[in-house]
Amino acid sequence: MPTERRRIDEPPPEPRGRRFDADGDASRRTWLASERTVLAWLRTGLTATAVALAVGKVVPDLRAGGTEWPFVVLGAGYGLLGVLIVAYGLWRGREVDRAIREGRYLPMDSRAMWLIGALTIGMGLLAAVVIVADA
């Protein structure tokens, strides 16, 4: 089957087959992308919650003696971080869905990202301190 060469300055060919909807509107794809994003927030929050359980309960139970309270505090911090991430993800998903219905774009709230990022960095640094101090 010979391939046809086309000039670089020509537009790409029109896709064949059905368009996503009758008007060529991509809103359904946008809705699905928004849904996947909310699910990613939920997965991230669930991961932080799993880390909370591991650090706060499993690690102290597996250790042979030593101080337990730093691990419990660290686990509680990761638990709160997980709750914050899930709450923000659900709120953000609702607001993005409203924006999609209204046909507008909703940028990410940089304050929320800085807060979640700073808390995550802080929890990571605290984990490093607890691990080094326990060694």
- At 50-101, the pLDDT tens digits run 999 999 999 888 887 778 899 999 999 999 999 999 999 999 999 999 999 8
Domain that holds residue 95: 34-134
DSSP class of residue 20 equals S
Q: Which two tokens stand for residue 57?
A: 């309960």
Residue 25 lies in a domain: no
Domains: count for the chain: 1
pLDDT at 128: 94
In the chain, at which residue ranges do the beta strands (DSSP E only) sit? none
Q: Is residue 65 part of a domain?
A: yes
The Cα 58–Cα 68 span in angstroms is: 11
Percentage of residues in the chain with pLDDT exceeding 70? 81
Asked whether residue 28 is assigned to any structural domain, the reply reads no
Residue 40 included in any domain:
yes
Q: How far apart are CA 55 and CA 109, in angstroms?
A: 30
- The answer to the question of residue 26 being in a domain is no
Residue 82, pLDDT score: 97
Residue 121 lies in a domain: yes
Q: What predicted TM-score, i.e. pTM, was given to this entire model? A: 0.76
23 in any annotated domain:
no
22: DSSP letter: T
| Residue 1 located in a structural domain | no
Is there a contact between 57 and 75 (Cβ–Cβ < 8 Å)?
yes
